[in-house]
Structure 1
Amino acid sequence: MFAPLANLEFRALWLTEALSVAGDQLTRVALAILVYDRTGNAMYAAGIYALTFLPALAGGLGLSHLADRYRRRTLMVWCSAGQALLVGLMAIPNMPLIALFVLVIGVPLLQSPAVAAQNATTREILPDDDLYLRSQDLRGITTNTTMLVGLGGGGLLVGWLGTSTALAIDAATFVVATLLVHRYVEDRPPASTEKTSWLDGARWVFGDRKVRILVTLSWLVGLAVIPEGLAAPLAKEIGAPSGAVGLLLAADPLGFIVGTFAISHFVPAALRARLIGVLATSALGVLTLFILKPTLVLALVLLFVAGFVGAYQVTVMGIFNTLVPNEIRGGAFGAARTGLRVAQALGIAAGGALAQGIGSSATTIAIGGALGVLIAVPATVAWSHARREGEDTAAASASAQEAPAAKRESAAKQAS
């Protein structure tokens, strides 16, 4: 799994992403604490936290195609520099709240095209399929571990350093990221020779059958994430102490980290594509067992297992980036990523509404899992057919190319 780190460009991009994710978690916690301390208003504190996510939806769909129109290294450098400036301004003591809200909107907007450019560049610098999939495993483990540690220890760190210092540290991570990308990533020409729009990526995602099936399997995370939104009421329902909420929130991402490592270490790249549907169905199927109203220990085990098999998401996005042409990869990734975020938001909102209506978080999680299985099973069958058709087409193409060569060899022998 660490083999991709031998590539200097990937090493720089991997470290850049790790720094960015760590800084983002620190900033989210710092802003929530800062706004609440200054206003005493929980709604404002939650609002500033939500604003660190919401603009990424618009940016992912509307700005990611810039990664295809312009030089990707240049785009990453300018976006990182811009984020460093915006977060640096947030770190100024006594910054007016209205200014903070505006600055918070700007950071994720700049992040969207940068992430699309980074994602597309990674596929360019690692053309080998197996090596590329392992690079995505490493990214997935690093990102989720950093988020888990960041959200868990961010409050303690901000309390120790202070909000302004914490924000200044995040600004510094963007400065380092800017320097790393500029120094170690090759300055390639734009991927597309035509002026692409945000619609081009979406058209490709929904126009290609195999990609459409992959996106469907990926967006099922909108149902798998329901337990995250119901962690607090679930803990109360199963008779667990309030401190168990953190454990319930950590079980799934911890399972995801372990599952990603296990898949990367034990499952060959060729087999991973065949297992996508099975793992997706299993990830939702595990959640149906919440109908049994589990104890805290069993609930933690179920969420861990769901996260473990849910690690198929890394393979899905790896294959997605392989199927999408380089010249449209940024915009297509933005469309897929935006859909993923929307699915998560809608899933959590719908789960909360259903739990309130029926009065049971455990039953709601089970219903979400059952609905996911109903979607995953036909999608798995469709993916199996599409994959086999692709393999047959590739085999036929290879045979067609070999036939003329065989005829030429036979003619040469006869002439001899």
Structure 2
Amino acid sequence: MTTYREIFANREFRALFAGNAATVAGKTIQMLALSALVYASTGSPLLSALAFLGGLLPQALGAMTLLSYADRVRPRGFLAGWDVARALAAALLATGVLPIWGMLLLIMAFGAVDALSGGVRNAIMVDVLPGGFVLGRATLNISVGAMQIIGFATGGTLIATLGPHRALAIAAALIAISAAVTYTGLRTRSPRATGRAGVAATWRGNRALFMNRSTRTVLIASWVPNGLIVGAEAMYVPYAGDWAAALFVAAAAGMLAGDLAVGRFVPVPVLDRFITPLQALLAVPYLLFFLHPGLAVGAAAVFVASFGYAGTLGLQQRLVDWAPESLRGQALGLDGSGRMTFQAVGATAVGGVAEATGPAIAMTVAALASLAVTASLRSRLRAGAQVRDDEPVDSGNRILTAGGDSG
């Protein structure tokens, strides 16, 4: 599958696309409304920030404890059921019966399971779109960016006109729609793996992925260079002040353009060759900030750099190709949750540098560090593209060896 017409002709992909779009819009409205509600109740910027981003913080915990379930659940039932649970949680928040601490605990508890749901959703796309995973993943990426923009704009309007509680009720309805679309649009599939899931199984699977040089290199390449550049993006407000929105818009536009171009026009067999160049592109334009460019030049640099995020598509395709089928969902879930965690780490690290040097120098340092990591991984990625790693991967159910079946 190499065209948008082909993937949208697939009924199951249409269900995944529509369900994911409704979920993203609902979650975005929920985050915004809950943040406004908490701030109005407490006047605390810290608690407001926790309400907005608190669901992202526990994803690392979910990746360490729950990801073994990603290959041991029936995808259709789990994804639809999880959306039902999310819709009920949003409806509970809309009632206003929970205290502030209860609201924060609720969204953090759901955040821990989001790492699992991301792994299940990405893994089922491999089955829904045989040979079309990259284009399908890029298409979902584009829809996520678009629905976040729509969600923020709509959420702000709803909060201003109806208040945060009614906005949360609308978020619950959108997520419930996602549950219905997912359940009716996907067909039933059996789990990829058998055996008991849990913390021990998750640790064994994660260890198996990290003990293999190829998958370990792919995960590090996916997490660290991107996380450092997200740290640079965290400096937009200190650097540009009231004009920071222009840099954020340029970054979003560049990322969407990269997903659109690479996902559609770069054939999967040659996608490997673009991983390192795209990751280098992600960092190089930020070196201009050492010269303190004006807003127009800075926005252009950010747009070009953000095109490089499309390198993640090639890395995700490698995980699909190399991870054992019984660990595919766990590998993709670990990739997603790891990227979220390293984005937070990158923002913290770059912010610390900026305290001593100022935002422009901190952005330059982040770019140099990202380039250094990309360069250090270049030979390993190239070697992995030529031959699979000769170290066995013990998934607890099967062994992946050189020349063996990758599922």
One fold, TM greater than 0.5? yes
> Are residue 36 (structure 1) and residue 39 (structure 2) matched?
yes
1:224-267 deviation line (CA, Å, top 9, x unaligned): 1123211111114xxxxx1x111122221210101111123332
Q: Distance in 2 between matches of 1:176 and 1:201?
A: 33
Match of 2:285 in 1: 286
Task: Give, as a single letter, the amino acid of the residue that structure 1 aligns with 2:202.
Answer: W
Which of 227, 231, 244 aligns to 2:236? It is: 231
Task: Give, as a single letter, the amino acid of the residue that structure 1 aligns with 2:171.
Answer: D
Which of 203, 213, 224 aligns to 2:207? It is: 203
- Describe the shift of the 1:223–1:205 C-alpha distance in structure 2 as closer, same or farther (beyond 3 A): same
- Describe the shift of the 1:156–1:273 C-alpha distance in structure 2 as closer, same or farther (beyond 3 A): same
Considering only aligned residues, what root-mean-square deviation do their CA atoms show, in Å?
A: 2.1
1:125-144 equivalence runs, <5 A: 125-128=128-131, 131-144=132-145
Q: CA deviation at 1:371?
A: 1.1
Q: CA deviation at 1:10?
A: 1.5
1:144-155 equivalence runs, <5 A: 144-155=145-156
Q: Distance in 2 between matches of 1:343 and 1:156?
A: 32
Q: CA deviation at 1:397?
A: 7.1
Cα contact 1:201–1:335 (8 A) shared by 2: no
> Are residue 22 (structure 1) and residue 25 (structure 2) matched?
yes
Match of 1:379 in 2: 377
> Are residue 221 (structure 1) and residue 226 (structure 2) matched?
yes
Match of 1:296 in 2: 295
Cα contact 2:115–2:334 (8 A) shared by 1: no
Q: Distance in 1 between matches of 2:289 and 2:318?
A: 31
> Are residue 72 (structure 1) and residue 75 (structure 2) matched?
yes
Structure of higher CA gyration radius: 1
Match of 1:344 in 2: 343
1:90-116 deviation line (CA, Å, top 9, x unaligned): 011454223222322233234332222
Match of 1:402 in 2: none
Q: Distance in 2 between matches of 1:154 and 1:364?
A: 33
1:251-266 equivalence runs, <5 A: 251-266=250-265
Deviates more, 1:208-217 or 1:26-35: 208-217
Q: Distance in 1 between matches of 2:384 and 2:122?
A: 25
Deviates more, 1:334-343 or 1:304-313: 334-343
- Describe the shift of the 1:387–1:160 C-alpha distance in structure 2 as closer, same or farther (beyond 3 A): same
Q: Distance in 2 between matches of 1:151 and 1:228?
A: 19
Q: Distance in 2 between matches of 1:99 and 1:210?
A: 42
> How many residues end up aligned between the 2 structures?
385
Q: CA deviation at 1:23?
A: 1.0
Task: Give, as a single letter, the amino acid of the residue that structure 2 aligns with 1:186.
Answer: R
What residue ranges of structure 1 are gaps of 5+ in the alignment?
237-241, 399-416
Cα contact 2:320–2:328 (8 A) shared by 1: yes
Q: Distance in 2 between matches of 1:31 and 1:38?
A: 10
1:12-38 deviation line (CA, Å, top 9, x unaligned): 111111111111111111011111112
% same residue:
26
Q: Alignment partner of 2:22: what SS?
A: helix
Cα contact 1:4–1:132 (8 A) shared by 2: no
Task: Give, as a single letter, the amino acid of the residue that structure 2 aligns with 1:172.
Answer: A
Q: Alignment partner of 2:190: what SS?
A: coil
